[in-house]
Amino acid sequence: MTTSAELIEMSERRSAHNYHPLPVVIHEAHGAWVTDVEGKRYLDCLSGYSSLNFGHGHPKIIEAARDQLDNLTLTSRAFYHDQFAQFCAGLGDLTGKDLILPMNTGAEAVETAIKVARKWGYEVKGVEPDQANIIVMEGNFHGRTTTIVSFSTDPEAHDNFGPYTPGFRLVPYGSTEAIRQAVDPNTVAVLVEPIQGEAGVLVPPDGYLSEIRELCTAQGILMIADEVQSGLGRTGQTFACDYEGVVPDIYVLGKALGGGVVPVSAIAANRDVLGIIQPGQHGSTFGGNPLACAVGIAVIELLNTGEFQARAAKLGEVLHARLRELIGRGVVEVRGRGLWAGVDIDPELATGREVSKALMARSVLAKDTHGSTIRLAPPIVVSEEDLVWAVNQLADALYELNTA
Ligand SMILES: *Cc1c(COP(=O)(O)O)cnc(C)c1O
């Protein structure tokens, strides 16, 4: 058998180093637990950046995928297929929107929203040709394409990938006053993460999203909510926007929409917005393929039960209560909503990477972000017992680092 160490060495030798993975080689997974090639088990507290909200190998999702594999996997959008209508209707109902435009990755869905907003700006709002601007937030993460990294404020994501796509205005996250000042007659949209995930699970001030909604409505601007990571049950609601009763003009969805099986993303919007797209103006060979739709339908059915949202809310209270007890004991601050937490480690004590490694040694897989923050987002199917155990591992790891 090839060992983890050998597989890591071989992987590093023949792959671009665009990631810095923890030194674990996963072989199989069920629910919230993964097993490495040596047979050691770990609790997954990252969930593929919230792609695995329903856990690894959820029986309903796997069954849907398996059935579909036997029938039909790809048609391209040159033809209709028998899973497409139900996927679009289901996602339309879940979001309360008229129309769906399916893509594959989150970044593609963000690109789709940007293109739709610009086209809407020119054709409906009457913005001067090529003058549209979109207001975006400092600290944003919307993906890795050349246009998206053009407005990233993370030097690693942004630098040396120019020339950059113009037409974006950066404002500080959390300030509606800054948005108000940035708006001009050519502004077509505000693009916002309801909670900034990659930035460290930053929750904006109360009222932020509803103020953006009001501002956008008043100024005739589209509100685009990137719910790729915050959506689909993670926060204890179907969408993080639900906490403020806010309905954006465009939902951007991805990650968990693919059930941890295949990449599935989409934007959802009403006919007055998404209706501007005509044949030939946008698309994707794999977007809305039969396998993706079958998996997406299973995901939507799980969300329609409401069980995952309720469970994330309930377990989220347990998670946050336990994490708050660690403040002053190696933890400086805890943020988040539902089963999603950003934990700032005292930088004097350890880096996020060091804490992630200490957690890994204790059979918990988590990922650091931005220096000293650990992000915890276990699959929503995690048991309460395992969740508490994982936080205890963090407490013990921090205690050890404190006394080392
Ligand atoms: C992950 C993520 C994306 C990009 O999704 P990919 O599937 O990696 O392209 C976009 N927006 C947010 C908020 C994300 O977390």
- CATH number (3.10.28.10, 3.30.1300.10, 3.40.1130.10, 3.40.640.10) of 72-304 reads 3.40.640.10
Q: Which atom of ligand 1 is nearest to the CA of 229?
A: 15
To the query of whether residue 346 is one of the catalytic residues in this protein, the response is no
- Residue 227 CA: which ligand 1 atom is closest? 13
Please tell me the predicted confidence (pLDDT) of residue 402. Answer: 86
Which residues sit with their C-beta closer than 6 Å to ligand 1? 49, 105-107, 110, 141-143, 193, 197-198, 226, 228-229, 254-255
Average pLDDT over residues 321-347: 97
Active-site residue flag, 87: no
For the domain with range 4-58+307-403, which CATH number is right: 3.30.43.10, 2.40.110.10, 3.40.50.300, 3.90.1150.10? 3.90.1150.10
Atom 11 (ligand 1) nearest CA: 142
Ligand 1 centroid – CA 142 distance (Å): 5
Query: Can you give the length of the chain in residues?
Result: 404
Output the CA 383–ligand 1 centroid distance in Å.
27
Over residues 360-373, mean pLDDT = 94
The residues spanned by each domain of the chain are: 4-58+307-403, 72-304
What pLDDT is attached to residue 187? 98
226 is catalytic: yes
Instruction: Tell how far the Cα of 264 is from the centroid of ligand 1, in angstroms.
Output: 11
- Cα–Cα distance, 379 to 274 (Å, whole number): 32
Ligand 1, atom nearest to 252 Cα: 11
Q: What pLDDT does 66 receive?
A: 98
pLDDT one-digit tens code per residue, 173-229: 999 999 999 999 999 999 999 999 999 999 999 999 999 999 999 999 999 999 999
Whole-structure pTM over 0.85, yes or no?
yes
Looking at the CA of residue 107, tell me the nearest atom of ligand 1: 9
Question: Residue 320 — pLDDT band, cuts 50, 70, 90?
Answer: very high
| Ligand 1 centroid from CA 239, angstroms | 15
Among 141, 193, 252, residue to substitute to test ligand 1 (most atoms within 8 Å of Cβ) = 141
Residue-wise pLDDT tens digits, 102-119: 999 999 999 999 999 999
Q: Is the pLDDT of residue 404 over 80?
A: no
Chain segment 143-159, per-residue pLDDT in tens? 999 999 999 999 999 99
Distance from residue 148's CA to the centre of ligand 1 (Å)? 11
User: What was the pLDDT predicted at 149?
Assistant: 98
Asked if pLDDT for residue 1 goes beyond 90, the answer is no
pLDDT tier for residue 266 given thresholds of 50, 70 and 90? very high
Structure confidence by residue, pLDDT tens digits, 247-264: 999 999 999 999 999 999
High-pLDDT (> 90) share of the chain, %:
98
Catalytic position from the list 54, 255, 286, 344:
255
- What's the confidence (pLDDT) of residue 349? 94
Choose which residue among 255, 267, 370 to substitute to test ligand 1 binding: the one with the highest number of ligand atoms within 8 A of its C-beta.
Answer: 255
